[in-house]
Amino acid sequence: MQDSRIYGYCRVSTFLQKEDRQIIAMQEFGVPYDQIFTDKQSGKDFIRPAYQELISILRPEDTLVIQAIDRLGRDYQEIGEQWRIITKEKRAAIVVLDIPLLDTRQKDRDLTGTFMADLVLSILSYVAETERRFLRKRQAEGIAAAKARGVKFGRPGWEPTEMFYTLVPIWKKSDISAREAARRLKIDTKTFLTFARRI
């Protein structure tokens, strides 16, 4: 039987964000650098390349380390389902560095400890999801109130200029690209094409 292994999973929402802090925390915990998987993607679902690869190689008694529960995902039901897959189907352990109670390693915890970890996860995930729904509701109410006061949202509409009408025939003859025409007009290519195709 192969020895159990320890893996780390990091996630940041965009390519502009850095995962350095998460990686350092995992290395300090003992996760080898080459066994840390990273996604630069939103946490709205679990269709993420690195996460899917990691789940596919997890074996019984392996350990998955994450820094915080929101690095796993944002949706309460999805987090609960992935927790179940990892701990019940894969029979691997999970360690959440920011919350010591969320540690399901069997060698260190009895059945009660594992139950407590599952319970704490459920409570935390529920609270996080409730807060997100409350925030979305408050945002929607704020936008509705602002609209009622006459506040306009979104970018102001672009109006074709004399230069636009000069560039469209040139674009139609393929003497200039839509991208170049848009650059000269200081608008995006989609806006240029939307207006140009109406002529």
DSSP assignment, residue 5?
-
Q: Is residue 56 flagged as an active site residue?
A: no
DSSP assignment, residue 34?
G
- Of residues 13, 56, 122, 174, which has the active-site annotation? 13
Q: What is the number of other CB atoms lying within 10 angstroms of the CB of residue 144?
A: 9
- Using alpha carbons only, give the angle 7, 93, 25 rounded to the nearest 5 degrees: 45
Strand residue runs (E) in 61-175: 63-66, 93-96
Q: What is the CA radius of gyration of the chain?
A: 25
Sheet (strand 36-40) strand order: 36-40, 6-12, 63-66, 93-96
Q: Annotated active-site positions, please?
A: 13
